[in-house]
Structure 1
Amino acid sequence: MGPPPDPPKTNFRSVSRRFLLSTAAVFDMDSTAGLGLYPLNRCKTLHMVRHAQGFHNVAGENDCKEHLPYDLFDPSLTQLGWEQVDNFRNHVHASGLSKRIELVITSPMTRTMQTAVGAFGGEGYIDGVDVTPLMVENACDSGRPAASSLNCPPFIAVELCREYVGLHLCDKRRSISEYKSLFPAIDFSLIESDEDILWKQEVGETNEEIAARGIKFMKWLWTRKEKEIAVISHSGFLNNTVDQFGNDCHLLVKSEICSHFANCELRSFVLVDRGMIGSDSSSTNYPGKIPYGTDIPCDFAKEKLQGNELKTVRAFNGLI
């Protein structure tokens, strides 16, 4: 019995090359994984904020049924809630957001409008300055001074971004007439009914219904010309809305989008129009070729040169 045959020799150079080629192919396939590139004119920056602490948050800390008593109808901010607003306002100014935000959208509830005015409104109202106040003095027994609308973006109230509609009295709004007397400079023109005809005592919205309303709100934003917008809303609305996004992201990125909103928390997002919902043209793109001149790309010129060389070879061989 002779010696065993030598094992087949491995061509390490060939294996190494195949490995590198396969790795390169995978890398090439995944080189844009996790990235997104979109035209700037198809993007809006949203600064989404949950209102500061309201009296219903304290009452319902241990039992959600505590939201039901009538004395918690459309509750105001607590003293601690106003402290949260003051600290948040400092951040808004220190970060430069106060100079960038073009529009403030608020849910038409006392706690959201107080948060919006306190964080994004002008400085304290000054007698003799002829501007309509965003909030009158001591609105809803808050003990707060009047807030000026001077040198701040416009404020509009939108019902699409209010909290779950129904069941809890804390989520039933006052009449628009009453709100106008408390928040004179907020624009309520988009709200059709003076009284709250959406709220029903017997039935409330489901998670699916409020999520659908949230997507409708996001699409509605594309009817606005403003590019950087603050939205002041509620935990139920915000959480159910943002939970519709980020499913194509890394789990950690998804959690940055969808984790629970704390009172007075701000989270900034880029909203991208990938379906031609809006019609905005770019204000920064530049067409080039002014003045006009030939601009054949190098890769096109190379392909053309190679094509001419192939024709020359074929002609030499009598093929053409």
Structure 2
Amino acid sequence: MLDRIVGMDSTEGPSLFPLHRCKTLHLVRHAQGIHNVEGEKNHDAYLSHALFDAHLTPLGWDQVHNLHNHVHACGLAKKVDLVIVSPLLRTMQTAVGVFGGESYVDGVDAPPLMIANAGNSDHPAISSLNCPPFIAVETCREHLGVHPCDKRRSVSEYRHLFPAIDFSLIESDDDILWTAETREANEDVAARGMKFINWLWTRKEKEIAVVTHSGFLFHTLQSFGNNCHPSVKKEIGKHFSNCELRSMVLVDRCMIGSDCSTTNYPGKIPSGLDLPNNVAHEKHPEKEVANSI
């Protein structure tokens, strides 16, 4: 099913698609979290409740600042219509740090994207001025279950920490998706990823940043590119580093989306005759003969 949505027609050459059947996705894995550091030392650390809803490390914030500078330097910051973020501390800290405004100043008539020192950080507040909207979506969370680092806080607590993020799509205040007994299977993560991709076609935005997790990205993207050259498929599906950004084009090959083009122009305005040369010849072959005499 995924290959019916995204992919090349063959490995022999490029494919061509109408622009309004495409969306540009800027996929970002969160910056280094405390669970990444501890898990690198000992995989069993992922079972530690001390890593509940893991936040960014100081190095992680440095990675965020570097990516923030990059998206502004290359002009991407002005192109993004929407930022979708997994509702966990490390992803929301990354999202607002990369795509948010500068330091928040009291008295500004706009809620901050993040309050000062949110989530065990020493980071100043981040402004929501001149930024795209941010929306939290649970479908793009990391593997669910067992690892406390992947369990979220209540939405009520997040709303206090991240006032300008929209949490309206999250149905439950508490985390009812995470369970201590069962870790979500890889194929279930991939299926959830497909559900998320299909949901993107219900959005009107054409250029979307998604700030999410390594496992979610890897298992979702592994299902794509089967009709591409092997090097392209490898490029699509390889693991993301902390705070890595990759831009990709999502193609609607099955008429899932319904948006009309905003750049196409119908022509013949004002209306008039404009038969192509070959069509005119087929319609009036006698004129061709007359012209040759």
Find the residue that maps to 2:165 and give its secondary structure. Answer: coil
In the TM superposition, what is the alpha-carbon distance from 1:308 to its structure 2 partner?
9.8
Given the alignment, which residue of 229, 247, 250 partners 1:250?
229
Question: In 2, distance between residues paired with 1:158 and 1:151?
Answer: 22
Taking the aligned partners of 2:36 and 2:11, their CA distance within structure 1 comes to 44
Map 1:265-304 → 2, pairs under 5 A? 265-304=244-283
- Residue 157 (structure 2) aligned to one of 178, 196, 208: 178
Amino acid at match of 1:94: A
Match of 1:7 in 2: none
| Secondary structure of 1:48 counterpart | strand
The answer as to whether partners of 1:157 and 1:188 remain within 8 angstroms in 2 is yes
Percentage of pairs with the same residue = 67
Aligned to 1:221: 200
CA distance in 1, matches of 2:10, 2:119: 56
Q: Is the 8 A contact 1:34 1:249 kept in 2?
A: no
What are the equivalent positions in structure 2 for 1:1-320 lying under 5 Å apart? 33-304=12-283
| Contact 2:10/2:227 (8 A) holds in 1 | no
TM-score (norm 2): 0.92
Gaps of 5+ in 2: 1-8, 289-293
Cα drift, residue 38 of structure 1: 0.7
Distance 1:158 1:83 in 2: 25
Question: Equivalents in 2 of 1:276, 1:226: separation in Å?
Answer: 16
User: Residues 308 and 130 of structure 1: is their aligned pair in 2 closer, same or farther, counting only changes over 3 Å?
Assistant: closer
- Partners of 1:63 and 1:269 in 2: CA distance: 34
Name the aligned partner's letter for residue 110 of structure 1: L
Q: CA deviation at 1:304?
A: 4.1
Q: SS of the counterpart of 1:118?
A: helix
Q: Which protein has the larger Cα radius of gyration, Structure 1 or Structure 2?
A: 1
Unmatched 5+ stretches in structure 1:
1-29, 310-320
4+ residue stretches of structure 1 with deviation over 3 A?
Answer: 302-309
RMSD: 1.9
**What is the identity, as a one-letter code, of the residue corresponding to 1:262?**
S
Whichever residue aligns with residue 62 of structure 2, its letter is E
Q: Deviations over 1:278-297 (max 9, x none)?
A: 11000011111111111222
* 1:153-206 CA-partner distances (Å, limit 9, x unpaired): 000000000000111111111110111111111000000000000001111111
Report which stretch shifted further, 45-54 or 200-209.
Answer: 200-209
* Alpha-carbon distance in 2 for matches of 1:232, 1:31: 31
Distance 2:82 2:66 in 1: 21
232-241 vs 296-305, which moves further: 296-305
Number of equivalent positions: 281
Distance 1:33 1:300, change over 3 A: farther
Contact 2:80 2:208 in 1 (8 A): yes
Secondary structure of the equivalent of 2:119?
helix
Do 2:48 and 2:148's aligned partners in 1 also have CA atoms closer than 8 Å?
yes
SS in 2 for 1:127: coil
- State the secondary structure of the residue aligned to 1:141: coil
Deviations 1:117-158 (A, max 9, x none): 100001100111121011000112200000111110000000
